[in-house]
Structure 1
Amino acid sequence: MSARHFLSLMDCTPEELVSLIRRGTELKSLRNRGVLFEPLKNRVLGMIFEKASTRTRLSFEAGMIQLGGQAIFLSPRDTQLGRGEPIADAARVMSRMLDAVMIRTFAHSNLVEFAAHSRVPVINGLSDDLHPCQLLADMQTYLEHRGSITGKTVAWIGDGNNMCNSYIEAAQQFDFQLRVACPEGYEPNPEFLARAGDRVKVLRDPREAVAGAHLVTTDVWASMGQEDEIAERHKLFKPYKVDRALLDAAVADVLFLHCLPAHRGEEISEDLLDDPRAVAWDQAENRLHAQKALLEFLVEPAYHHA
């Protein structure tokens, strides 16, 4: 049997995604009640990081430990990958020793190539194209606070980056309408837009995008690797700052999400994360619970081998 991978939200059915985020809430409740639940005892997750990380590393590492397993942190500096070992070779070797591999990388093609040669599940911990694990946490957070997102309207404000691409896939899989407000030239990947069809609208005016929205979300103006573009981006993105007044244009019970880290005073106003409509801390915590649900789903439990 070939392993199931999670490189994109499209690797699961809509039903599987909904059951994953519901399971995330159940696992959260178990943890909050202090119930020990260790289905992945003796299972090992390898974590390859080519980009810096706080939440992704903590949530996967803590999640594996809480599920009874272990996680091994690998940076390119510590492995032969950083010295040019072919990805396919690394995948063949690592997947013989590990039970799953999580990769945070630049080119999405690296993930696809690794997965093609891996015997065990490969999880996208972020690529230049997509950040599907973050979307599981975002969808779990919306579900916990407001119920089903089906049929609702979501506004993405700012750069059409990997997070935006994942929101486009989420619109298809979770069945909501997405409006993307971005400056000209910073639209999301046209291939993702084409696949989503009329489920996604690209607008220039953030107020138009937010009007009547149930969920508003944004991200930093310059992602990792774009530091040299910061000055130029700041000029273009200034009108796309999300503040309390912009949220007032949405529905009364709108939720605001931010995948963090946030640059207060740039993409959000200084005080926005203190607004009761903002639930970014719950969202960040839900990375842990949603990914535990994902690991439980993908990694064969130890007791199958008893």
Structure 2
Amino acid sequence: MENHFYGKSWLKELDYSAKELNFLIDFSLHLKDLKKKHIPHQYLAGKNIALLFEKTSTRTRSAFTVAANDLGAHPEFLGQNDIQLGNKESLADTAKILGSMFDGIEFRGFKQDSVEQLAKYSGVPVWNGLTDEWHPTQMIADFMTLKEEFGSLANLTLCYVGDGRNNMAHSLLVTAAILGVNFHLAAPKDLQPKAEVLAIAQELAAESEAELLITTDPKQAVNGADAIYTDIWISMGEKVDIHKRIEALLPYQVNQALLAQTGKKETIIMHCLPAFHDQETTLGKELAAEYGLSELEITDEVFLGPNSRVFVEGENRLHSIKAIMAATLGEIFIPEEYFN
């Protein structure tokens, strides 16, 4: 068996080339087709998968669990109260034990260093389900969604508006730069990408010929965009002045007026979820009561409108995570010339 990815970990987007990312996007689409046709694809039959969660999750946990089951593997959930990462036991010691019992490990938590150490000491593939720095499984789902919608990633322009220095903005920026997708980002000056991440993206974009635009003007950023992407304005566990953050980002809300600025009828709307588009959540009600806002980063009209692909994108978390797991842990044949 020849598998270019076998035994590798999935820690951050920067570890992979455009050809490798494109393969995983195409493989995700293939696995989605197999599932829709009810064709079995148990590439991981007999494997045991550990799912480590320091942070809560809906889509990531569900996607890894169903993906493991579809692939024939057994997933075991270990929440923050079940694991001793750095508390009673060092991360290295935990990694060695888990690696001796499990064939692969998913980690969703705070520090990128934690997932890097798990990969270093466990001896098995480790998959980053999200850290404060990167969200690489989301990237395959997102660019899979774009390819599914438009047929190709060539000449596309993806625009992100909102908090531009969180893990989502950074991941989208570097992944677009690797893949040659034009990337526009609009955010207040103090919420724009970190200088070191932007420098990496600019270097990658010079090779792929992707156009990068970082601006404070959301109207300028969305002009000509094939997709508008946004994320929640306050990240999980982030301690900020909520009133100041909302005040700074309200001009970057994705609404019908901003969508109209693209100049394209077929522009799609994307969001990694959860989204504060209504008051049907506890936090949504609290924010509405305190600040008089029923919607934050995206309006309900746009979120549920005909241009929205947020639920397709959400489902694609399953197929993309399945592709990453199967490629890095399964005995699948991939001709090496695909990557030459």
| TM-score bracket for the superposition, by shorter chain length | over 0.9
2:188 is equivalent to residue 175 of structure 1? no
2:118 is aligned, of 114, 129, 144, to 114
1:288 is aligned, of 315, 318, 336, to 318
Report deviation, 1:151. 2.7
Match runs of 1:1-306 below 5 Å: 3-81=7-85, 83-160=87-164, 161-197=166-202, 199-226=211-238, 228-250=240-262, 251-264=264-277, 265-301=295-331
Report deviation, 1:227. 5.1
Q: 1:76·1:82 contact (CA, 8 Å) conserved in 2? A: no
Deviates more, 1:110-119 or 1:282-291: 110-119
The superposition leaves residues 213-232 of structure 1 with CA deviations (integer Å, 9 ceiling, x where unpaired) of 11110000001012543222
Across the two proteins, how many residue pairs are aligned to each other? 302
Using the aligned pairs only, state the percent identity: 34
CA distance in 2, matches of 1:200, 1:271: 29
The superposition leaves residues 247-297 of structure 1 with CA deviations (integer Å, 9 ceiling, x where unpaired) of 111122111100000001100012112211110010000000011111110
Amino acid at match of 1:29: D
SS in 2 for 1:47: strand
Amino acid at match of 2:49: L
Amino acid at match of 1:195: I
The superposition leaves residues 138-163 of structure 1 with CA deviations (integer Å, 9 ceiling, x where unpaired) of 11111111122233221110002100
- Taking structure 2 as the reference length, what is the TM-score of the superposition? 0.85
- Taking structure 1 as the reference length, what is the TM-score of the superposition? 0.94
Q: 1:7·1:122 contact (CA, 8 Å) conserved in 2? A: yes
Report deviation, 1:244. 1.6
Call closer, same or farther: CA 1:33–1:2 in 2, change over 3 Å.
Answer: closer
